[in-house]
Chain A
Amino acid sequence: MRKIVLASHGTMAVGMKNSLEMIAGKQECVDAIAAYVPGAPNLQSSVEGAIAALGPDDELILVTDLLGGSVNNELSEFRNRSHVFVVTGMNLALVLGLVLGCADTTEELIQEAVDSARGQVMRILGASEMAYEDEDF
Chain B
Amino acid sequence: MVVLFRVDHRLMHGQVVFSWCSYLNPNCILVANDSVAKDDLRKTTLRLSKPASTKLVIKGIDDSIAAINSGKTDKYQLLIVVESVRDAVRMAEACPQITSIDLGGTKATSSTHQLSKMVYLTDEEEDLLRDAQGKGIEVFLQGVPSDKKVPFTSRN
Please list the residues of chain A having a beta carbon within 8 angstroms of any beta carbon in chain B.
Answer: 23-25, 96-97, 100-102, 116, 119, 124, 126-128, 130, 132, 134-137
B15 within 8 A of A: yes
Query: Which of the 9-residue segments B48-56, B104-112, B123-131 touches chain A?
Result: B48-56
Contacts of B44 in A (CB 8 A): 127, 130, 132
Contact A135 B18 (CB under 8 A): no
CB distance from A124 to the nearest CB of B (A): 7
Contact A132 B47 (CB under 8 A): yes
Contacts of A124 in B (CB 8 A): 48
Q: Mark B17-61, 1 if CB is under 8 A from A, else 0.
A: 011001101001000000000001101100110011001111000
* Chain A: CB-nearest residue to B15: A23
Given A24-B18, A102-B22, A119-B52, A127 contacting B41 (CB threshold 8 A): yes
Q: How many residues of B contact A (CB 8 A)?
A: 27
B73 within 8 A of A: yes
B146 within 8 A of A: yes
Query: Shortest 6 CB-CB distances between A and B: which pairs?
Result: A100-B22, A137-B72, A127-B44, A127-B40, A127-B41, A132-B47
CB distance from A61 to the nearest CB of B (A): 16
CB distance from B13 to the nearest CB of A (A): 9
Q: Which of B22, B57, B72 contacts A101 (CB 8 A)?
A: B22
CB distance from B71 to the nearest CB of A (A): 10
CB distance from B49 to the nearest CB of A (A): 9
Contact A100 B48 (CB under 8 A): no
Contacts of A24 in B (CB 8 A): 15, 18-19, 144
Kindly list 9 other residue pairs between chains A and B, CB separation below 8 angstroms, not including A25-B144, A97-B18: A23-B19, A24-B144, A96-B14, A100-B18, A100-B22, A102-B25, A116-B51, A124-B48, A132-B47
